[in-house]
Structure 1
Amino acid sequence: MVTVNHTIKSNTDHDNDADMLTIESGMPDECPGEMPVQSLREFGVDAKRQPVNPNGCRSHSWRRWLVLGTAVLLSLWGINEMRAVLAVGEMTFVEYLVLILFSLTFSWITVAFSGSIVGFFYVVGQRFFPRPLLSAPLHTRTAVLMPTYNEAPERIFASIEAMACAIEESGEGRAFDWFVISDTTDPDIAITEEAAFHTLRARIGKTINVYYRRRRQNTARKAGNVADFCRRWGAGYDHLLVLDADSLMEAGTMLELARRMQADPDAGLIQTIPQLINGTTLMARLQQFATRVYGPVVGTGLAWWTDKEGNFWGHNAIIRTCAFMSAAGLPDLKGNPPFGGHILSHDFVEAALIRRAGWSVVIAADLSGSYEECPPSMIDLAVRDRRWCQGNLQHSRVVTAKGLHWVSRTHLLTGIMSYLSSPLWFMLIVVGLVLALQAQFIRPEYFTDEFSLFPSWPRMDAARALTLFIFTMVILFTPKILGFIAFIINGQLRRQSGGFIRLILSFILEAILSALIAPVMMLIHSGAVMSILLGQDSGWNPQRRDDGSLPLKSLIYRHRWHMAVGIFLTVAAYFNSLVLLAWLSPAIAGMLLSVPLSMLTSSWSIGARVKKWGLLRTPDESVRPAIRQAMDETRGAYETAVSHAPDLLTLASDPRWYAVHLALIDRMPTRARGKVDAVEATAAMKIREATSVSEAVSYLNQREQALVLATPALFTALSQLSLSQVTPSLPTKSPLSEESLLPESLI
């Protein structure tokens, strides 16, 4: 990429002095490198690198024996107890189904139980024996990547400025370059991104390297966006610090990640555990409270036993560029979506491929100062989880890949089970109900083919069933309880979260609301799995960040099947017995109340009221993170820039805006002869037939407008329609000649 660096003279009514400003391209000169697509069917031993340090990629096997061995023993005990509960008499077919479904769902929760016990002791121990931070000067270069897709530009660029300035103040600014890599398809948002970028460059661009690039085609979504950056600019950087559109990281956290990567030549990827912040709705505050209070125990336990075979969650992590480019080029899966095509949940697969190549993948559970935001409502959570569900189920095509470490396969299986567990739980409820109805209404078969003095009908050991139920609840809730204990015994965290009483009330409120939401999410995930099995693709939609409220009519429509299932289970249980209805009531209640529950938890005003009462408070609300405070103070400048951004008509008609935009258009890839883009051809014909810019813009649909903005020839052709209407100051030789003018808002 040849950097455009033309001096443009300002000639506006607002400034009689000829200020000299500079237009530069959005990106630095390209530094290309190879990123070969990896094979899932073949992997030779000779393709695996040898560690620099003998123990650089060696994990402690005894940790796996302790955590996973305990989980296996607990699973075997629970499964045997369920068998004993059902096997009082001869087991029926339905009872066998109950046993199988219980075995799958019970085994799923034992790993979190055993891991959380270890995590508890480590979280408590870190208060007294924290890991020392590194202080060596950085001699490596890190590219900080902020991918975005139709997100609010003011949020993104304000966060970039806050983080970049914090790093600059540390004295290590030369070690970091900052990139907003856009996949935005909405032309209006694309234009406001450019306006925000110009503001960013004007505010900090003289001392900090900040860049912006919008892809013309968003092939392979976020994974393809990052891969495109790597193939064109990646070779110029030692590390990639990958963020998300809602990510924030403290300068100390970013510096420590870079120093740990620099100090460990065998480290391929270091993942932080992000904390949720800025929750406005009740749903967001529930997630924020849960991850802050319970998350450290679960996350630390996971980091401890996975050791050098950790995982990647797609953002808030640092990656060694050469490891990523040489080992993590993703293949397309054979067939069509939802199981074929581009790999959606690319992060798990990238971590597995990096580990396969001989690099370590570590979860830095001890590092704080890594933040993100969460969906504001159950509906938004369902939209996000639908995409994640499809991506995780795609891992069934990856889990058998040649050469993967068995722990990496475990991560992939865990991702699959995180969604398959929902239909399994639902099937267990339904089969359990059938078992109860069978015992109540179906006449027992007194005379079977085999001689017996007793009839063959379902019988259960009630005392053992109660014991097993209590044991299952202990397994299920221990991670939460241990997380809460570890949190509340920390005096500083307790005070920052409102004190002992408010924390207890928050814990109870979170437990009740989570118990009501869980069965609804179970049905949502079950529906997602079913739609994927039926061949429906999820698409790619931007995520809402703030208010998640929807009209009542929309909520009723979206939750209609959840209410219907709740009514069915209520009626079926009632006609069996009131005892069965009481047992099922925790699950049924959430389904029946799904509409008011969704309305309550998605309301910004309810969330504000709960916050005012001091409930579900986290330490980050009492002592606002410095990086968040800096972002909020900065955001106003970008909101102003976005509000004054031009539309496409102005961008093409005004020579000042025209020159600025043309400098930011990404390089056009070479087009193969005979391969014509239908959208591009249609847009070209519409522009050719128009007699003015406004007429041409009116002809173009949204997709065509976005393509025109990303295609120099089309954008120039559109702008040429205004030649007869512009002043003599319009450039005649080059759109970037010295006679061009900048937009007045940039002067």
Structure 2
Amino acid sequence: MLTDRASSPTHDHQPSGSEADAAMMSRRRVLLFFLIIGTIAFAIALMIATLSSGGFDLLDALLTLCFGLTLPWTVIGFWNAVIGFALMRRHRDPAAVVCPVIADPPDAITARTAILSCIRNEDAERVVRHLDRMIQGLHQSGHGQAFEIFVLSDSTWPECIEAEEAGVQRLRNRWSPLVSIGYRRRPDNPGFKAGNIQDFMHRWGDGFDFALVLDADSLMAPDTILRMVGIMQRNPRLGILQSLVVGLPSTSAFARIFQFGMRLGMRSYTLGSAWWQGDSGPYWGHNALLRVQPFRAHCRLDPLPGRQPLGGWVLSHDQVEAALMRRAGYEVRVLPQERGSWEENPPTLIEFIRRDLRWCQGNLQYLRLLSTPGLHPVGRVQLVLAILMFIGSPAWVLFMTLAALQIGRVPESGPMFDPIFGWSIFALVMTMVFAPKLATLGSLLLSRKGRADFGGGPRLLAGAFGEILFSTLIAPVMALAHTLFMGGLLFGKAIVWSPQRRDTHRLRVTQALRRLWPQTLFGIAAMLWLISTDAGGAVLLSPFIVGALLAVPIAVLTAWPAFGAWLARIGLWRIPEEVDPPALIKSLGLPRVGRRRAYVPATDQVAADSIVGD
């Protein structure tokens, strides 16, 4: 349930921009709507034609329904990619086109900003190391006095609490009195992270204009922080400014492949989505700048009515807070530039699934919030899309299962599927699924700098097609995990909020099998069924089946530290921060690609030892 004070929009804070700008955004959204509806209708018609070869019965109708439920997220991603590719090819600075607030000249920093590091049972050394680098950069910029650091802990493990207190004290010893560093631990954690931030807002919010929200693994370049603060200062109607977060270099094979794919897809996707979302953009909960007063007044979340899993505190708080900020008349924008804002990605498939299931439960809670009065239409659409992102998984699993059963049926009159239409729908879906990555890949290949940023054209191509194969294989693993988890939600099973394991670590076969046996069993059963029926029809289903069948080997191999280190040495799945590391990344002592050893520059080693060491 949302607080009463945020139950209706304010009238003294209207979105900035002229009527012409508002009309232009309306035209863009209407155009996108008809493109999406037309594409979905065409895809469904193609599916009906595929299934009508031997007649169209109830099973065919159910197949079509399941297929239709998987389409909205995929189709929107496709058109985001098309729009993003067009922007990248037509404009020298496409980010400024879709986010005009970044085009203004820089101002002197006059605002007071709190940097909030929100942690719960995390590695304190990582948190302290990242904060130290950011404090150092802000101090060297001459603007350190405009910032204060707050480590906001919800930790319950004694060893974590002890490490946090010791780490914060080391930071104070190093930076006091230049920078104020506060530490607060709540004995319990009502509201989870959202409650943690609101607790800060009500205790200390009066002393600050803005708050920069960080996760335990967040790292932001000082010039990026200063730039965001400058943008927020110049735009008083801007309530949330979200940076584009990319992955830090890693020797985990899983993280390397995953973040390469994310980096490949996010450029076109983010530009395309910002083109039509405009001032009603997303908020991802970290590496983002908040305007304190409206966030405190309008974005508080109360527990949802009913019991878990859909009742209680909202797990995926960020997108709801974005919708409430926009409802209050403030803009929410994403800064669609891949620089100066990083996080660490899960090092194994198992950790990735754990994180995704928490998001799954949180997003499904949005079902209780769709009727919230006064939300901007785009904000309401984003809540719907967040739900469909996960509801599409059981629909896809059911579609594949029914398709396999359909192939095995004895046809009474002619073939069950039209092969021409069948291959056409397969090609269409695969094109739409991978459109964001293919669009960015095409733009990079057409740019000498783009190719160089990823280690050259051959390495970029090899990485791209390897990642597409990898994501194709893990898609069924994730879809089945979502489906099983949502099945458990129907019986009251809820996720346990626990910290992520962020360091590279080995995964034993027994550990992987304990978590992935349902996928393995599904893969074996489906493969045996298809082999015994129609090999031709099985081809269309084989990527889904093979991915489930190989879930355990994929999880074990991509978690193997030696394999990840070898990939780093040969430079496969490089990201720009590995090819040409910024000074801030170098100072962390992360492994570098090629045959060079990991490094920490001598000028930073003393600082690193003084902060992280005892």
1:157 equivalent to 2:114? Answer: no
Aligned-partner SS, 2:547: helix
- 1:263-342 equivalences under 5 Å are 263-342=234-313
Q: Which residue of 2 aligns with 1:386?
A: 357
1:420 equivalent to 2:384? Answer: no
Counterpart among 38, 42, 48 of residue 73 in structure 1 = 38
1:568 equivalent to 2:568? Answer: no
Q: Which residue of 1 aligns with 2:594?
A: none
Paired residues of 2:327 and 2:376 also in contact (CA < 8 A): yes
Paired residues of 1:86 and 1:461 also in contact (CA < 8 A): yes
Q: Which residue of 2 aligns with 1:435?
A: 406
Q: Which residue of 2 aligns with 1:628?
A: 585
Counterpart among 194, 198, 202 of residue 227 in structure 1 = 198
Q: Which residue of 1 aligns with 2:597?
A: none
Q: Specify the code of the residue in structure 2 equivalent to 1:180.
A: V
Q: Specify the code of the residue in structure 1 equivalent to 2:18.
A: N
Deviation for aligned residue 1:555: 1.4
Aligned-partner SS, 2:114: strand
Unaligned 5+ residue runs, structure 2? 97-102, 590-599
Q: Deviations over 1:127-150 (max 9, x none)?
A: 457744632102111111110111
Q: Which residue of 1 aligns with 2:137?
A: 166
1:98 equivalent to 2:63? Answer: yes
Q: Deviations over 1:515-568 (max 9, x none)?
A: 111111111111222122221111111111121422221112212111110111
Deviation for aligned residue 1:580: 2.8
Aligned-partner SS, 2:290: strand
- d(CA) in 1 for partners of 2:528, 2:194: 47
Q: Which residue of 2 aligns with 1:601?
A: 558
1:618 equivalent to 2:557? Answer: no
Q: Which residue of 1 aligns with 2:232?
A: 261
Deviation for aligned residue 1:158: 1.2
Q: Deviations over 1:170-212 (max 9, x none)?
A: 1222221111111111111111111111111111122112221
- d(CA) in 2 for partners of 1:109, 1:43: 33
Q: Specify the code of the residue in structure 2 equivalent to 1:273.
A: L
Q: Deviations over 1:271-319 (max 9, x none)?
A: 1110111222111001121122221111111111100111110001111
Flag the 1:379–1:639 CA change in 2: closer, same or farther, 3 A. farther
Aligned-partner SS, 1:371: strand
Deviation for aligned residue 1:465: 2.4
- d(CA) in 2 for partners of 1:510, 1:83: 31
Deviation for aligned residue 1:352: 0.6
- 1:74-223 equivalences under 5 Å are 74-88=39-53, 90-125=55-90, 127=92, 131=96, 132=103, 134-223=105-194
Q: Which residue of 2 aligns with 1:540?
A: 497
Identity %: 33
- 1:480-499 equivalences under 5 Å are 480-499=437-456
Deviation for aligned residue 1:39: 4.1
- d(CA) in 1 for partners of 2:15, 2:278: 18
Aligned-partner SS, 1:241: strand
- d(CA) in 2 for partners of 1:100, 1:263: 48
Q: Which residue of 2 aligns with 1:61?
A: 26
Counterpart among 531, 552, 559 of residue 509 in structure 2 = 552
Deviation for aligned residue 1:635: 8.0
Paired residues of 2:249 and 2:575 also in contact (CA < 8 A): no
Flag the 1:641–1:160 CA change in 2: closer, same or farther, 3 A. closer
- 1:308-707 equivalences under 5 Å are 308-366=279-337, 368-440=339-411, 444=412, 459-632=416-589, 644=614
Deviation for aligned residue 1:474: 2.0
Aligned-partner SS, 1:180: strand
Q: Deviations over 1:422-479 (max 9, x none)?
A: 1111000011122222345xxx4xxxxxxxxxx7x88443322222222222222222
Counterpart among 43, 49, 71 of residue 7 in structure 2 = 43
Aligned-partner SS, 2:532: helix
- d(CA) in 1 for partners of 2:610, 2:550: 42
Aligned-partner SS, 1:559: helix
Q: Deviations over 1:245-281 (max 9, x none)?
A: 1111111211111111111111111111101112221
Paired residues of 1:161 and 1:631 also in contact (CA < 8 A): no
- d(CA) in 2 for partners of 1:505, 1:52: 45
- d(CA) in 2 for partners of 1:398, 1:535: 19
- d(CA) in 1 for partners of 2:498, 2:529: 38
Of the structure 1 ranges 79-88 and 175-184, higher mean CA displacement relative to structure 2 is found in 79-88
Aligned-partner SS, 2:250: coil
Q: Deviations over 1:35-61 (max 9, x none)?
A: x96249x8345x444327453994711
Paired residues of 1:248 and 1:627 also in contact (CA < 8 A): no
- d(CA) in 2 for partners of 1:494, 1:426: 37
Q: Specify the code of the residue in structure 1 equivalent to 2:76.
A: V
Q: Which residue of 2 aligns with 1:10?
A: none
Aligned-partner SS, 2:502: coil
Paired residues of 2:229 and 2:289 also in contact (CA < 8 A): yes
| Structure ID, larger Rg | 1
Deviation for aligned residue 1:381: 0.5
- d(CA) in 2 for partners of 1:564, 1:357: 50
- d(CA) in 1 for partners of 2:387, 2:443: 30
Deviation for aligned residue 1:625: 2.4
Instruction: Give the structure-2-normalised TM-score.
Output: 0.92
Instruction: Give the structure-1-normalised TM-score.
Output: 0.76
Q: Specify the code of the residue in structure 2 equivalent to 1:376.
A: P
Flag the 1:498–1:244 CA change in 2: closer, same or farther, 3 A. same
Q: Specify the code of the residue in structure 2 equivalent to 1:113.
A: F
